[in-house]
Structure 1
């Protein structure tokens, strides 16, 4: 198969291939603000200002990331408490007089369902790409800025067994684009940086972060500005486009 031989040739220099998860291999079934409002309504908290909820989500997430970086990894907060506090801050922002008992129910429910397939869907082409990379006899892993519950999400979505390892920023103690998180799997598998490839959706964290660590990288994003910033054979609007390129083009690393 010509495409397969080109695919193998494009990946021949790599012994390790890692993936980001959110918006790379999996995505939310619906925007978090919509899911938050839906869950709240199901638990009896209605009349939520949706645009305000969306803004509060963005603002409070930034605040929590600044106050307690890496999902509380360096603080007294557990990752679970980090998410619970985030949800509570968001709903206090939207409905200052919200019933505290209801709020606890909402936060607990949201934390639970976001670790299941209720809130996630597969991005088209993800399973094929993972299978092809595994068939090429590479070490395959995950490098994700997330908390340890990502393992459960991947199991729920039936792709955990596609990976040799899953490295979350919480467990690593470093977040992308810090090169330290990219160094961990190199040491684990005895791989040199120029033998490693990372695939993700974020220009700064994934594409540049990996390259600054000495890796090769590919970007999968619909952001037109980022598509133009990356080298032309390194950036694609979808996994399907990426797979087609690996099958038909000579990628210049």
Structure 2
């Protein structure tokens, strides 16, 4: 048990830094584009208190107005309560909010269940047989700013 705890602790702390994580090349561009549209950006994640440190380490934290981890919320996606809490942090009605995520149930369906505009990030075309309309599906984050602009028009 002591060895397992030691190894688990080392792994836990190893994944607090950018060197052990991959930031997709479209992430920074998309965050900058969304910010230039005047959008308030936040994170809703099934993660723990390391989220802020990880985003800081990856150079992405400054783009976000708020973070909400499942640990902080006390519930995890797909529970709609985490999205309700995010709406409170955001200070915006659901119909003025969009959520993008890569999980069909936890991100797309769950966000839409509370009235948020959900987008499914399907980088590898894994969800081609789902009932997600093409206008709600993106294969790259680079597609997101134009989709959000369409919602605002």
Please state which band the TM-score falls in when normalised by the shorter chain. Answer: 0.7 to 0.9
Is residue 207 from structure 1 mapped to residue 101 from structure 2 by the alignment? no
SS at match of 1:127: helix
* 1:82-101 pair list within 5 angstroms: 100-101=1-2
- Provide the residue aligned with 1:246 in structure 2: 146
Q: How far is the alpha carbon of 1:170 from its aligned partner?
A: 0.7
| Alignment match of 1:114 (pick from 3, 15, 19) | 15
**Structure 1: any 5+ residue segments left out of the alignment?**
1-99
Cα distance in 1, alignment partners of residues 88 and 4 from structure 2: 44
* 1:71-86 pair list within 5 angstroms: none
Cα distance in 2, alignment partners of residues 117 and 177 from structure 1: 27
- 8 A Cα contact 2:66 2:89, kept in partner: no
Aligned-pair RMSD on alpha carbons? Answer: 2.1
Moved over 4 A (4+): none
Cα distance in 2, alignment partners of residues 235 and 198 from structure 1: 12
| Alignment match of 2:138 (pick from 210, 229, 236) | 236
Q: How far is the alpha carbon of 1:236 from its aligned partner?
A: 2.1
SS at match of 2:25: coil
How many equivalent pairs are there? 149
Cα distance in 2, alignment partners of residues 173 and 109 from structure 1: 25
Return the structure number with greater relative CO, CA threshold 8 A, min gap 6: 1
- 8 A Cα contact 1:124 1:239, kept in partner: no
Q: How far is the alpha carbon of 1:107 from its aligned partner?
A: 1.6
* 1:27-106 pair list within 5 angstroms: 100-106=1-7
- Provide the residue aligned with 1:186 in structure 2: 87
- 8 A Cα contact 1:198 1:217, kept in partner: yes
TM-score for the superposition, normalised by structure 1: 0.54
SS at match of 1:166: strand
Q: How far is the alpha carbon of 1:228 from its aligned partner?
A: 3.7
Q: How far is the alpha carbon of 1:225 from its aligned partner?
A: 4.8
List per-residue Cα deviations over 1:203-252 (Å, max 9, x = no partner).
00101110001110111124535234211111122223x24x827x957x
- Provide the residue aligned with 1:170 in structure 2: 71
**Structure 2: any 5+ residue segments left out of the alignment?**
none
Q: How far is the alpha carbon of 1:125 from its aligned partner?
A: 0.6
